[in-house]
Chain A
Amino acid sequence: MMTCRDVNGLLVDYVDGALPPEVAAAVERHLASCEPCRAYLATYRKTRALGAQAARVEIPDEMRTRLRQFLLERAG
């Protein structure tokens, strides 16, 4: 039987869907009976999504303009 710590150590591969089916099934059996691990997984996934959204920035237009000028002066 997996412990909470065992499950935590597999989360990177679990959320990627990269675990072998029998290992993923064992994680899911543990989750079915462990409220703290279900809460952990839900907030772990949400954290991943929030971190990605917070960091999803585009290069500002004025910076792109300066970069173009900077490179054209030096290219060739």
Chain B
Amino acid sequence: MMSDEHLLLKDAAGGDASALEALMSRYGSRVYRLAHGITRNSADAEEIVQDVFLQMVRKGGAFEGRAALGSWIYRVTTNVALNKRRGKRREVETSLEECLPAWEADGHRSGPRAFLVADWSGRPDAELLSGEARRILEEAIDRLPEHYRAVLILKDVEELTNEDVAASIGDSVSAVKTRLHRARMALRELLTRRLGPQT
């Protein structure tokens, strides 16, 4: 039996404007967020959204519904966005390493104590999401590799399970968890370097 979404996709593929509207309403922002999260560019994200929805319309009739439609759409979006970024990609993996915690042989984190105990988490979101702090956050997100940003969006914004993130990007659950942790650690480190020790 076809799911509601499967029927919607078939109808949209057949040129039904109301089915297309329903799909856009359900998935438009989700596709845009992921595309924008990966490319960090609004014009590129728009091209990706058009491409993904066009694939839905043209190939959606062949979607067999074995996977959840959401996962299928996220997977198409991730592939299109990463392809678009190919060639533009900056090699940031090396610089990401220096944003991860360094460890002493006994398992303690390395660094000055004032930095290690810096806790800026009590600052209001409104302050951290505006002005200089917001700029620091956006720059930190820019420094992450695209695959890491994709995982952050799917897990922390769309709130998918690790298993669903893995299905959406075609990777293993352990790879998803590793990327997620490294991405959060790198962002935390960059924020703490700028916001932390003064508090």
Q: Which residues of chain A have a CB within 8 Å of any CB of chain B? A: 3-6, 8, 11-13, 16, 35-36, 38-40, 42-60, 63-64, 66-68, 70-72, 74-76
Please give the residue numbers on chain B whose beta carbons come within 8 Å of chain A beta carbons, in ascending order.
Answer: 12, 14-17, 20-21, 24, 28-29, 31-33, 36-37, 42, 46, 49-50, 53-54, 57-58, 101, 103, 106-109, 113, 116-121, 125, 128-129, 134, 137-138, 141, 152-153, 156-157, 162, 177, 180-181, 184-185, 187-188, 191-192, 196
* Distance, CA A12 to CA B181, complexed state (A): 6
Assembled-state Cα–Cα distance A54/B135 (Å):
11
* CA gap between A3 and B105 in the complex, in Å: 10
In chain A, what residue has the closest Cβ to B30?
A59
Q: Which residues of A contact B125 (CB under 8 A)?
A: 49-50, 53
Whole-angstrom CA separation of A50 from B183 in the bound complex: 13
Select from chain A the residue with minimum beta-carbon distance to B35: A59
Flag if B134 contacts A42 (CB, 8 Å): no
Q: Is the CB of A4 within 8 A of B108?
A: yes
Main secondary structure of the interface of A (DSSP, over half): helix
CA of A33 to CA of B149, assembled, Å: 33
> Chain B interface mostly helix, strand, loop or mixed?
helix
A-B contact pairs, 13 of them (CB 8 A): A3-B106, A4-B108, A35-B117, A36-B108, A39-B116, A42-B121, A50-B128, A50-B129, A51-B156, A55-B141, A55-B153, A63-B49, A64-B24
Contact in complex: A48, B184 (CB < 8 Å) = yes
Q: Which residues of B contact A36 (CB under 8 A)?
A: 108-109, 113, 116-117
In the complex, what residues of A have CB within 8 A of residue B31's CB?
59
Give the nearest-CB partner of B162 in chain A: A16
